[in-house]
Structure 1
Amino acid sequence: MIRRFQDISMIQSVLHEAMTGLWIIELENDLPPRMYADPTMLELLGLEEEPTPEECYCAWYDNISEDYRAIVEQAVNEILLKGRAEVQYCWKHPQLGEIFVRCGGVPDHTFKNGVCLQGYHQNITDTFILKKEKEQLEELNQEIIGSLYDLFFATYRIDLNTWKIQTIQFTECVQHLRADDILYPEFLQLTLPFIHPDDREAAKKDFSPVHFQDLIREGLDRFTGEYRAKFGGEYRFISCTVYFGKDVPAPSWAILALQDIHGQKLREADSRKALLDAYEMAQKANNAKNDFLSKMSHDIRTPINAIVGMTTLANLRADDSTYVRECLDKIAVSSELLLSLVNEVLDMSRIESGHFELSAEPLHLPGLIDSVLSVVRPAIDEKMQHLNVTYKDIAHPEVLGDRLRLQQILLNILTNANKYTPEGGSVTVCLTERPTASTQFAGFCISVSDTGIGMSEDFLPHLFEPFARESDSRTSKNAGTGLGMAITKSLLEMMSGSIEVESCPSKGSCFTITFDLLLPGKRKNPSSREDSSEAPQDISELHLEGHRILLAEDNELNMEIAKELLELSGAAVETACNGEQAFTMFLNSPSQYYDIIFMDIQMPVMNGYESAKAIRSLSRPDAGQIPIIALTANAFIDDIILARNAGMNEHVSKPVQLEQLARVLSSYL
């Protein structure tokens, strides 16, 4: 038998087919290393002509990859120490580029002049690449299985030919769902008891072998069902998905994956509830809006109809001065009502949008209440109502607060008391100071009670909702937006205050508001009260002949009205159609030429703020001294602040009233 393997040509042929060459390396002192290679080895080295032994060694050693030279040298030392070694390394083939080789050898102890090694050199590039790909595939499989652990709590493989099921992975909490060496129908029967009774029949039908075959015939590659399953004593929502293989003509296998979706279902339920709540709120808001528009259409048209009607009647009887004056008086009353309606809507809009700020200015609280009472007193007297006012324990009458908003709160409550109290009834106002925990604030309580028509118990919870008005034949004749109480409550909340109401139908209502106001650092004399009863001066009695007014207004009609009203004072009025023209007129005028400037805010080219700042920036002495008055429809508290920041002295809101103009002119001229 051994003689069969003594044919060297047969051995070389086998080695050549296996891409394995033989080599001998001789290392002698003071001589270059030599390598002797058989024909297969020369071919593996990419050498077309037979080189010298020294050239052959260099062709091999010089092309060993730098990263592997240490490994090769270690293998050589191991051959010398242990008598045998094998190493795999990367080698740079002159034609093929980088290849991987397996190299092994033994020492030749018969060589006497140094060291002689004998061995083989095999190209294993294909094998090496396949090994690497297999390792990468195994790593990828591990990553996939790891991902399955994160996504699914159990996955299985089903052989659709034999219906055997095999567990791929599962978590510890579902040990009872492990499937090894059983058929899929048996596995299905084991799992069904854990499904919620209400979902059991659906799960049994959806994941039966018969349904799987129907799905395959329909060409579907997956199916998902959601059910409740019992885990740890509670039912949780799970998703069961079967994925069919892509085999042709029919899938031979399927993957069954189970996923816990309980948290997702709870979030979806919360989202649905939130959407439902939002929808209901939107519906309520839409109903409130429609109701509001309906009421506003009536309430706004009422004064507009009076204004238009009285204007028509006045034109028809223009020669009757007494009749015309009566019409003008009624137009003025309707205009004030229309303005109050618009202001309430705008106030509520700004409160809800957050574009609303409160100021802190010195005020005398009892005097402020007196000023509000002076406004409503004519209406109270007209209905022959009894007004009772008392102040109790007022230790700090001088405080800091938003005068305008406090007046607005009291006016809303007092006008309602007057409006819904019949003739001969009574309205009682009581201001009381109450103790506070802070020495920087004074606490107050104001109650307003009446003997009016009252409110029903069903309506009281909705009293402070925007646009809320009780449907009652006794209230239908009273105009209003249904925003007054909503604005009042919002303003008090901004002041960290509160409002409470007690009411009984046909007996009356009592509103109680509580709030704290900042105490001034240096209190004024408590006896110095606002004299709110002083009648405003008539503008025609100012006698401002010789004074000159600069009026900036871009609207021609508004300019005409303001000009004529100002001229009633006797002063001369010059006009500018925008802020830039007003600035230019002042710049080109002699010093002290103008005595006062009335400046609109919303104007083209240059607005009122910009124009006022430009005038104040001039170096001439009168630029910093001349009074600049904002005359604008921007009537909110932050608009007043912006006007002051622009260098304006005061703010007069439109529509312009003679009393306002008279007060401003008498203050500055």
Structure 2
Amino acid sequence: MAPEPDDSASALAALGIEGVLSHMPGGFFVYRADTDEGLIYANEACCRIFGCDDLSAFKRLTGFTFPGMVHPDDIVRVEDSIARQIAADQFDMDYVEYRIVRSDGAVRWIEDYGHYVETKAGPLFYVFINDGTEKHERHRKELASVSAELAEAHVREAEHRSMLRGALSQAEAANVAKNAFLSNMSHDIRTPLNAVVGYAELIRAHLDEAERVRAYTDRVLDASHQLLDVVNETLEISRMEAGHVQLVMAECSLSSAVEQVRRDFAETAERRGIALEADVSGIVHDRVEADVVRLTHLLSQLVDNAVKYSPPRTTVRIVASEEPGSAGGFSTFRLTVADEGIGMDAAFTDRMCLPFERENNTTASGVQGTGLGLTIVRSILDLMQGDLSVESTPDAGSVFTVTLTLRVTHADDAGEAFGRRERTGEVRRILLVEDNELNSEIACCLLEDAGYTVEVAENGQVAVERLGGAAPDAFDLVLMDIQMPVMDGYAAARAIRALPDPLRSTVPIIAVSANAFSEDRKRSLESGMDAHLAKPLDIHRLERLIATVIG
């Protein structure tokens, strides 16, 4: 039962502090620690906190007991907390937070600082309270924010772990592919090297047997070309994966590009007993803007595969056609390479463009290769925004189709891909600019055996001086290395083009360099050269190039 009002008044009167407590800004009340925990005093601030106009309203709202002040869902927790704190330390204030229900029904949070004392009137609790709703709400929001941040961090961590697992999986897959590649590379490099070294020894042992020497020499050349293919493809895919390859767009003849690829592989196909045919009759607009080096490169990769994997007495066909209805200066072209070779399983066609992928390794297929050819094709087509499709049947052959949209030009044939000079006629006298003695010896022998007269300059500066001091028509052609001491090939070409005599300054110049990429060819042409031929020097390709440059 609640005590009578005069009980509290008499109690606090005895203490002599009622006037002070009544006007405190914070709530203050005293209640008995035994029996029903009835209040013996509550100041005006308590009434305000509970939304009561006076003490009578406060008593009606709370029953004038401590449990009547606390939200019913919190009272058990609060009293347990107070009891534990008193048991632990009777000299410090205990602290609890709980909810109250105001007279207007609003729920507020209270901060409660109390102290238990033994008095003559019995055990009492002296309690200071204040409204902590705003503070509690700030804490709630802070906790919610921290919780949200923790949840977000957890999500990020989960995503990071997922990414790490994915990266680890990719790394493991890449490691497996790398190991397979290194194994294949080791085999595919050592096999032709073994042939080169072995047949060179046999040649030296049978120098007096012309037929055997000729046969061994052919095999050394075959092995050398295999080794060169491995090096070229590995370097090419490395540059592409590093993002170092850019298209060099220029006007060119599509039919000429196709015909060049056919010529490049004609001898190889003939040795294998394979007929190699090209059909460009379906091209309406022959002059297009494209990176002709990349274009012939991707076509060469497809033809190379077709010839490699085709048996004797079969045919490989290169067909170039144009789809009807060009618009806006552009037209769509299809380049198809069809063979009657071993074909591929459907399952392999899905991964045929992945690096180092081969349906069968060199040992099983009997065909040299790194598994990079179609990867290079796919990478070039990605740069050209083209498409590659394949139809293949095991033991029946494959049909690879490249689809490209190219800008059509309307220039006449005078604007060939090479910067032609006014000179025409037979080429007999060649100035070879080469700083490497071994390369110079090989080139001189090849050129002289082909019927040319050769003079050597060991660097670009010597070449410029030699041309400037000789008769204007002393040389029909200059073969220019690029990387040389004193003056490199680019600077030498610019210096030759700047010679005052027009006969000397217009001499045809062909770069012959180990710098074999499309960007290198572009730089050669920009420096004033007429064409670019990658080393090693192939006399047949050189003569075809001379015919193109001289006209």
Q: TM-score, normalised by structure 2?
A: 0.66
Residue equivalent to 1:567: 448
Offset at residue 300 of structure 1 (A): 1.7
Residue equivalent to 1:632: 513
Ranges in structure 2 where 5+ consecutive residues have no aligned partner? 1-84, 98-105, 115-139, 418-425
Residue equivalent to 2:459: 578
Contact 2:259 2:278 (8 Å CA) reproduced:
no
Pick which of 333-342 and 377-386 moved more: 377-386
Which of 181, 188, 210 matches 2:112?
Answer: 181
Deviation string for 1:3-57 (max 9, x for gaps)? Answer: xxxxxxxxxxxxxxxxxxxxxxxxxxxxxxxxxxxxxxxxxxxxxxxxxxxxxxx
- Separation of aligned partners in 1, 2:439 and 2:206: 26
| Counterpart check, 1:656 vs 2:549 | no
- Separation of aligned partners in 2, 1:265 and 1:556: 66
| Counterpart check, 1:558 vs 2:439 | yes
- Separation of aligned partners in 2, 1:468 and 1:570: 45
Output the amino acid matched with 2:233. Answer: E
SS, match of residue 365 in structure 2: coil
Mark the CA change 1:164 to 1:433 in structure 2 (over 3 Å): closer, same or farther: farther
Residue equivalent to 1:146: none
- Separation of aligned partners in 2, 1:618 and 1:661: 26
| Counterpart check, 1:599 vs 2:484 | no
The 5-angstrom pairing of residues 122-201 of structure 1 reads 164=94, 180-181=111-112
Mark the CA change 1:179 to 1:383 in structure 2 (over 3 Å): closer, same or farther: farther
| CA RMSD across the alignment | 4.0
Residue equivalent to 1:124: none
Pick which of 644-653 and 362-371 moved more: 362-371
Pick which of 340-349 and 389-398 moved more: 389-398
Offset at residue 487 of structure 1 (A): 0.8
Output the amino acid matched with 2:210. Answer: S
Mark the CA change 1:574 to 1:474 in structure 2 (over 3 Å): closer, same or farther: closer
Offset at residue 488 of structure 1 (A): 0.9
Output the amino acid matched with 1:441. Answer: F
Residue equivalent to 1:26: none
- Separation of aligned partners in 1, 2:318 and 2:463: 48
- Separation of aligned partners in 1, 2:465 and 2:433: 11
SS, match of residue 652 in structure 1: strand
Pick which of 634-643 and 413-422 moved more: 413-422
Ranges in structure 1 where 5+ consecutive residues have no aligned partner? 1-158, 168-174, 184-230, 240-257, 531-541
Residue equivalent to 1:309: 198
Residue equivalent to 1:291: 180
Residue equivalent to 1:97: none
Mark the CA change 1:298 to 1:520 in structure 2 (over 3 Å): closer, same or farther: same
The 5-angstrom pairing of residues 72-471 of structure 1 reads 164=94, 180-181=111-112, 260-366=149-255, 368-377=257-266, 380=269, 394-424=283-313, 427=316, 429-435=318-324, 438-471=327-360
Mark the CA change 1:428 to 1:634 in structure 2 (over 3 Å): closer, same or farther: closer
Residue equivalent to 1:56: none
- Separation of aligned partners in 1, 2:396 and 2:452: 55
- Separation of aligned partners in 2, 1:421 and 1:332: 21
Deviation string for 1:207-239 (max 9, x for gaps)? Answer: xxxxxxxxxxxxxxxxxxxxxxxx99xxx9986
Contact 2:362 2:369 (8 Å CA) reproduced:
no
The 5-angstrom pairing of residues 611-622 of structure 1 reads 611-622=492-503
Contact 1:447 1:512 (8 Å CA) reproduced:
yes
Offset at residue 664 of structure 1 (A): 5.5
- Separation of aligned partners in 2, 1:365 and 1:620: 36
SS, match of residue 314 in structure 1: helix
Which of 344, 360, 374 matches 1:485?
Answer: 374
Mark the CA change 1:336 to 1:164 in structure 2 (over 3 Å): closer, same or farther: farther
Deviation string for 1:566-624 (max 9, x for gaps)? Answer: 33466554433333443444455565555543221111233221232234344455552
Contact 2:391 2:400 (8 Å CA) reproduced:
yes
Residue equivalent to 2:32: none
SS, match of residue 459 in structure 1: helix
Offset at residue 433 of structure 1 (A): 2.2
Offset at residue 317 of structure 1 (A): 0.8
Mark the CA change 1:176 to 1:268 in structure 2 (over 3 Å): closer, same or farther: farther
| Counterpart check, 1:517 vs 2:398 | no
SS, match of residue 640 in structure 1: helix
Contact 2:206 2:213 (8 Å CA) reproduced:
yes
Offset at residue 491 of structure 1 (A): 1.3
Mark the CA change 1:522 to 1:290 in structure 2 (over 3 Å): closer, same or farther: same
Output the amino acid matched with 2:229. Answer: S
Contact 1:237 1:261 (8 Å CA) reproduced:
no
Contact 1:392 1:431 (8 Å CA) reproduced:
yes
Offset at residue 518 of structure 1 (A): 1.7
Contact 1:420 1:475 (8 Å CA) reproduced:
no
Pick which of 623-632 and 576-585 moved more: 576-585
Instruction: Tell which has more relative contact order, 1 or 2 (C-alpha 8 A, sep 6+).
Output: 2
SS, match of residue 347 in structure 2: coil
- Separation of aligned partners in 2, 1:668 and 1:392: 26
- Separation of aligned partners in 1, 2:300 and 2:392: 19
- Separation of aligned partners in 2, 1:606 and 1:177: 89
Offset at residue 482 of structure 1 (A): 0.5
Output the amino acid matched with 1:290. Answer: N
- Separation of aligned partners in 1, 2:441 and 2:537: 12
Output the amino acid matched with 2:440. Answer: M
Deviation string for 1:476-509 (max 9, x for gaps)? Answer: 3111010110111111222211012233444443
- Separation of aligned partners in 2, 1:648 and 1:432: 32
- Separation of aligned partners in 2, 1:603 and 1:561: 17
Q: TM-score, normalised by structure 1?
A: 0.55
- Separation of aligned partners in 1, 2:225 and 2:502: 41
Offset at residue 163 of structure 1 (A): 8.8
Contact 2:184 2:362 (8 Å CA) reproduced:
no
SS, match of residue 227 in structure 2: helix
Offset at residue 658 of structure 1 (A): 1.6
SS, match of residue 432 in structure 2: strand
Offset at residue 318 of structure 1 (A): 0.7
Contact 1:392 1:433 (8 Å CA) reproduced:
no
Residue equivalent to 1:197: none
SS, match of residue 358 in structure 1: coil
Offset at residue 435 of structure 1 (A): 3.9
Mark the CA change 1:335 to 1:177 in structure 2 (over 3 Å): closer, same or farther: farther
Mark the CA change 1:616 to 1:492 in structure 2 (over 3 Å): closer, same or farther: same
Offset at residue 375 of structure 1 (A): 4.3
- Separation of aligned partners in 2, 1:504 and 1:623: 58
Mark the CA change 1:380 to 1:564 in structure 2 (over 3 Å): closer, same or farther: closer
**Structure (1 or 2) with the larger CA radius of gyration:** 1
SS, match of residue 344 in structure 2: coil
SS, match of residue 204 in structure 2: helix
Deviation string for 1:242-274 (max 9, x for gaps)? Answer: xxxxxxxxxxxxxxxx78422222223323323
Contact 1:617 1:623 (8 Å CA) reproduced:
no
- Separation of aligned partners in 2, 1:177 and 1:627: 96
